[in-house]
Amino acid sequence: MINQPENGSNLLEAIRQGIYEEMTNDKSVFVIGEDVATYGGAFKLTEGFVDVFGKERMIDTPISEAAIVGAACGAALMGMKPVAEFQFIDFISCGFDMLTNYAAKSRYRGCGAIGAVFRGPCGSGVRGGPFHSINAEAFFLNTAGLKIIEPSTAYDAKGLIKAAIRDPDPVLFFEHKKLYRLPRLREVLPDEDYTVEIGKARIAREGKDLSIITFGAQTLNALDAAEKLSAEDGLDIEVLDLRTLAPLDKEAILATVRKTNRVMILHEASLTGGIGGELSAIIAEEAFEWLDAPIIRVASIDSPVPFAPQMEDYYLPSLEEIIDACRKLASY
């Protein structure tokens, strides 16, 4: 058992605890990826696991994401429960064919379900440059058969990684690296076993004047903007944290629209082709008559992620941009 720090767990520690507990309770769970065993992972998430579970369940691989995904798929078909790690989610593209044409379609083709987790760090804002900073959810949202998760709290991260490992179908588990060791996310987690249901959003902040629909690291930006606007403008803003991007929690999305009648969609990936377009379509098709203002999307600009700090800051949605969009929406 991994002892929880006295001051609580951060997001990385929560995921680490969740995987460790599942490996302890289920001998069919194993971890596979580059440097996950001896080195303990690029971010040290699995540090020390090899000493407990051995090299048969902590498998270091060559630098080939396609091979990692393929091996995980094969193992899952044989009844194992692989947790495959990408050192950075940018390189999930190297396993795209196996994920979209095999893992996602295996159940449909009658070959059997692939109960595997494909996880890794995503996200910008850490000066990682164009090859270590992307948000990849939009690449996979159009692929039926994949579940996609991105948590924003330590509690959700642990509960969702455990749920993902137990899920009978392939799950993409994206972890924003900027949140890994963020002090404000540290919280004391329950000692008892728990999971968080896949496909269910959560209200991160109750409000009545307008809604911000978001997920991942942008949930924190949305909460910061809401508090600032409450203090300066008296606006009462609701923040809906999606948690699961596929399947989307339509019920929660439509409920917040009907409650506040004004909606801003916030995500970190580039605007064009992002999840904000799909969310906007759902709201327009199923809750148009509840809207008192046009839907506003706030996202990163259509560009590779810059390396220079000032350029990356310009690329990302800023707190000021979110606040300005909220004020525009509220005054419509």
Let me know: does 267 contact 275? Beta carbons within 8 Å: yes
Does the annotation mark 176 as catalytic?
no
Kindly state whether residues 207 and 181 are assigned to the same domain.
no
Q: Which of 115, 150, 185 is the last residue of a domain?
A: 185
Residue with tokens 């309770």, as numbered in its chain = 25
**pLDDT value for 4:** 79
Q: What is the pLDDT of residues 106-141, one digit of tens each?
A: 999 998 899 999 999 999 999 999 999 999 999 999
Residue 96 — φ and ψ, nearest 5°? -60, -45
Q: What is the pLDDT of residues 161-192, one digit of tens each?
A: 999 999 999 999 999 999 999 999 999 999 99
Kindly state whether residues 172 and 252 are assigned to the same domain.
no
Kindly state whether residues 181 and 212 are assigned to the same domain.
no
Kindly state whether residues 206 and 181 are assigned to the same domain.
no
Residue 328 — φ and ψ, nearest 5°? -65, -45
CATH of the domain at 319: 3.40.50.920
Residues present in the chain in total: 332
Kindly state whether residues 171 and 223 are assigned to the same domain.
no
Kindly state whether residues 130 and 56 are assigned to the same domain.
yes
> What is the Cβ-side half-sphere exposure of residue 92, based on CA atoms within 13 angstroms?
25
Kindly state whether residues 119 and 259 are assigned to the same domain.
no
Q: Which of 249, 95, 250, 115 is nearest to 171 (CA)?
A: 115
Kindly state whether residues 82 and 152 are assigned to the same domain.
yes
Kindly state whether residues 239 and 156 are assigned to the same domain.
no
Task: Please tell me the total count of domains within the chain.
Answer: 2
- Here the tokens at position 109 are 């083709």
Q: Which of 155, 185, 215 is the last residue of a domain?
A: 185
Kindly state whether residues 214 and 96 are assigned to the same domain.
no
Compare 113 and 238 and report the one with higher pLDDT.
238
**pLDDT value for 292:** 98
Q: Which of 151, 185, 219 is the last residue of a domain?
A: 185
Residue 38 lies in a domain: yes
d(CA 47, CA 15): 12
* Annotated active-site residue in 16, 57, 119, 132: 132
Kindly state whether residues 176 and 212 are assigned to the same domain.
no
Domain that holds residue 280: 202-330
Kindly state whether residues 254 and 301 are assigned to the same domain.
yes
Q: What is the pLDDT of residues 60-83, one digit of tens each?
A: 999 999 999 999 999 999 999 999
Residue 307 pLDDT > 90 = yes
